Amino acid sequence: MATLIARPADPSSSFALDAAADTFPKLLRRNAGMFGARIAFREKELGVWRPITWATYYRQAKAFGLGLRALGFQRQELLAIVGDNRPELFYAALGAQSVGGISYGMYQDSLAQQLTHLVDFSDAHYVFCEDQEQADKVLDMEARLPQVRRIIVEDWRGMWRYRHPNLTSFAEVLRLGRDLEASQPDLFDQLVNAGQPDDTAIFCQTSGTTALPKLAMLSHRHLLAQGLNFHSVEPHIGPKDEFVSYLPFAWIGEQMIAMTLHQLIGFVISFPEEPETAQRDFREISPHFTFAPARIYEALHTGVTVHMLDAGWLRQRVCAWALAVGGRVVDLRSHGAPVPYGVRLQHAVARHLVFRPVLDKIGFARMRVAWNGGSPLGPDYFTWFHSLGVNLKQIYGQTEIAGISCVHRDGRVHFWTMGFPIANTDLQITGEGEIISRSPSVFLGYYKNPEATSQALRGGWLYTGDYGTLDPTGDIIMFDRMSDVITLADGSKMSPWIIEAMLKFTPYIQEAMAVYAPDGGTLAAILNIDMRSVGKWAEDREIAYTSFADLSQKPEVLDLLHGIVRDVNRRLRPEWRVRRFVSLYKEFHPDDDELTRTRKLRRRFIAERYRSLIAAMCAGQTTFDAALLVHYEDGTTREVHTTLQIKDVETLER
C-alpha cells in the first residue's frame, strides 16, 4: 500500500511546451532574436571580465554545429564534452543539439581509464576537449577507442607539434561551419526545425553511489519541463540576475541551471578564470542565487569557522554571540513564534558587525536564494547558514527526473525535510518506504541498460531507491538510499547519513562513514580529518607531523576526534550512538573509487575495500595493520602500510 504525498493535475494534461521553443536550439534561436546584444555569458580572461552576448552565443553554436555537420556528424550521434566550465562547452553542446545530436558532459577530473570507459560505453564518435590535458587522456587510450572519429580541442596551446589525423581545433570546426553556412544558408534552420521535443538532448551520468555510473537519457521535453515547473514555484529569478558557473558540466545540477534555466529566463552566467580562482571570482561577481552540492556548503562552513577560531579572543566572543543571536531568531521563526523587539535589535547589530562582512567574504552579499542538491545537508548546517541570513533551501531529485522533484518553499524551510513537490509532480511512498515520483521530466531510460531501466521505470513511476516518509508539515523526508538504511538489533531502522552529517559539522572532520555490525550490534565510524583545519590546530599546539597519515594518528588528534564523537553521541538516541571510531590514514577520494565525482560516499565499495578494518572495529580490536593500494592521478599505484588506532568511545570516557 502506498502513501500519497502530492497529486497535482495529471502531468500529461497540465503541461505543454511552446512549439516555437520546444528544444534548446529553437529556444536559443529565439533568445538571440529577442535579447540580441544583451549579455548571456561573462568570462574572465587575464583578470578581465569579457562579456558575450546572446547573439554571439547563437552564432558560435551555429558555426560549431554546422562544422560538426561538415565533419560528418549525423542526427542522434553523440558529442562527448570534457573540460572546465567556459562558454565553449555550451557552444559545443548547443551546436551538437542544433544539428540533431546529443551532448554528453563528462567529469574533467576523471582519470584516463575512467574517461575511456565512459566514452567507449556511450559509443561517442566525437569528443570535445577543452585543452591538451583532456586531449592527452583520450589519445593515451586511443587503442581502446576505435569508434572515435574526431577529437576537437578548444585550447590548442602546447599542441602545435601534434599531428594526429583525428585531431581538429575548435577554430577549424568554426571555420568549416561558416563555410557550410555560406554555401547552404538555409541548412541550419532546417536542421533546427527538424528537432523534436522528445529527441534525446543529453546523456547524463548518474552519481554511481551504489554501482558504476549509468547514462540517463533525457530529452528536450524532460529538461525544459523541469525548468518551467521548478521556476513556477521559485519565481524570484529574473533576467537581470547573476549566476556563477563553476560546478562540473557533467552534473545534472549544472545542466538544469546553466543550461535549462539560463535558456528559459535569460540571466547572466559568469565563468571563473581557473578552477583555482573560482572562490575569488565568485566573490567578485557576488551572484544573486546559487546551486551547489552539500560539500560546497560544508567547505564554506569549515572555512568561516576556522577563520573565526583563528581570530583574537574579542572577535571570537563577538562571533559566538552573533551566531547565538542568529540561532535564536532562526529557532523562533521555525516554530512560528514572534521575535521579541530586543532580540530583533540584537540581530540587527549582529548582522552589521558579523553577518554582512562574513557574507561578503564568501560572495553571498547579494544572495537571495541558495539551493543545496545532490545529497542532503544536515540540519546543523541549515541552522548555521540561516543564522547568517542566507535563504538556504534543499532541493531533492535525481538525474533520472532531470534533477528536481521537490524544493523548500519560502516561509516553510523545514531543515530536516527535502521540501514539497514542484509543479506537475506526484510523489508517493511505497509500502516498503521507497520514494517514487512521476512528472513530465522522468527520463527515457538508461543507455544500453534495459534491466536497470525496467527496475527504475514501472507503471509510469520513477522508483528512486531512496527510503523516506512524509513529514507532518507536508514535506518529504528522505533518510537515505534503501540499500544504505541500517536495521538495528531491535528491528528499528536508522540512517547513517544522520550521524555522518552531525559528525561533519565541525572544521576538523572532512568526511565520515558510519558502519554497523548486526552480529555485535556495534555502530562505528570511519573518519577523515580535514588536513587544513587539523593541521592548523596541531601547529597552534606545536604538534609536529610529517604527512596526512602521520597527523591522523597523533594521540592529540585522536583525543580531539573523540571529543567530537562524544558530543555528537549526547545528541543521539542511545541505540544510534557511535561506540568505536578510527581516523583513516588517507582521505576518501574519487580516484580511488571511494567517492563519486560529486563527492558522495560509495558505501558498498568502501565497505568492501575496508572490510577487514570494519571487522576489526566491530570485533573490539584496538589496532589494525592496514595495507592498501593507492591510485595516483598520473596512473601510478603504491601500497601503503600503516597501523591504525581504533578507539572505543566508552573506554575513553572512563
Amino acid 12: pLDDT: 40
Task: Kindly calculate the radius of gyration of the chain based on its CA atoms and give it in whole angstroms.
Answer: 25
Fold of 15-195+234-283: Rossmann fold (3.40.50)
d(CA 531, CA 517): 29
Q: How confident is the model at residue 2 (pLDDT cuts 50, 70, 90)?
A: low
Q: What is the pTM of this model?
A: 0.90
d(CA 40, CA 52): 6
Cell of 438: 512521476
Q: Where in the chain is the domain with CATH 3.30.300.30?
A: 486-653
Residue 10, pLDDT above cutoff 50: no
> Average pLDDT in the 17-35 region?
92
Query: What is the number of helices (H) and of strands (E) in the chain?
Result: 25, 30
Residues 381/205, Cβ–Cβ less than 8 Å: no
Residue 521, pLDDT above cutoff 80: no
- What is the average pLDDT score of the chain? 91
Residues 405/422, Cβ–Cβ less than 8 Å: yes
Higher pLDDT, 486 or 291: 291
Domain 486-653 = CATH 3.30.300.30? yes
> Average pLDDT in the 518-527 region?
84
Amino acid 1: pLDDT: 42
d(CA 512, CA 502): 9
User: Distance of CA 330 to CAs 96, 362, 385, 497, Å?
Assistant: 47, 21, 10, 23
Amino acid 490: pLDDT: 80
572-583: pLDDT as tens digits? 988 899 999 999
**Cβ-defined contacts of 32-35 (< 8 Å, 24+):** 32/57, 32/58, 32/59, 35/266
245-264: pLDDT as tens digits? 999 999 999 999 999 999 99
352-374: pLDDT as tens digits? 999 999 999 999 999 999 999 98
128-179: pLDDT as tens digits? 999 999 999 999 888 899 999 999 999 999 998 898 999 999 999 999 999 9
Cell of 358: 562574513
634-644: pLDDT as tens digits? 667 777 788 99
Cell of 545: 607531523
Sheet holding 445-446, edge to edge: 167-169, 150-153, 126-129, 78-82, 102-106, 200-205, 215-219, 445-446
Between 385-389, 484-488, 628-632, the lowest mean confidence (pLDDT) is in 628-632
Amino acid 15: pLDDT: 60
Longest alpha-carbon distance in the chain: 84
Residue 631, pLDDT above cutoff 90: no
For residue 108, give the nearest of 87, 126, 89 by alpha carbon: 89
37-56: pLDDT as tens digits? 999 999 999 899 999 999 99
d(CA 87, CA 247): 14
46-93: pLDDT as tens digits? 899 999 999 999 999 999 999 999 999 999 999 999 999 999 999 999
Residue 510, pLDDT above cutoff 60: yes
Q: How confident is the model at residue 310 (pLDDT cuts 50, 70, 90)?
A: confident
Provide, rounded to the nearest whole percent, the portion of the chain with pLDDT above 70: 94
Q: Is 553 helix (H, G, I), strand (E, B) or coil?
A: coil
Amino acid 209: pLDDT: 54
433-488: pLDDT as tens digits? 999 999 999 999 999 999 999 999 999 999 999 999 998 888 999 988 898 888 88
Residue 304, pLDDT above cutoff 80: yes
Residues 35/56, Cβ–Cβ less than 8 Å: no
Q: Which residues contact 45 (CB under 8 A, 6 or more apart)?
A: 273
Q: Where in the chain is the domain with CATH 3.40.50.12780?
A: 15-195+234-283
> Average pLDDT in the 186-213 region?
88
Amino acid 653: pLDDT: 46
Q: Which residues contact 492 (CB under 8 A, 6 or more apart)?
A: 575
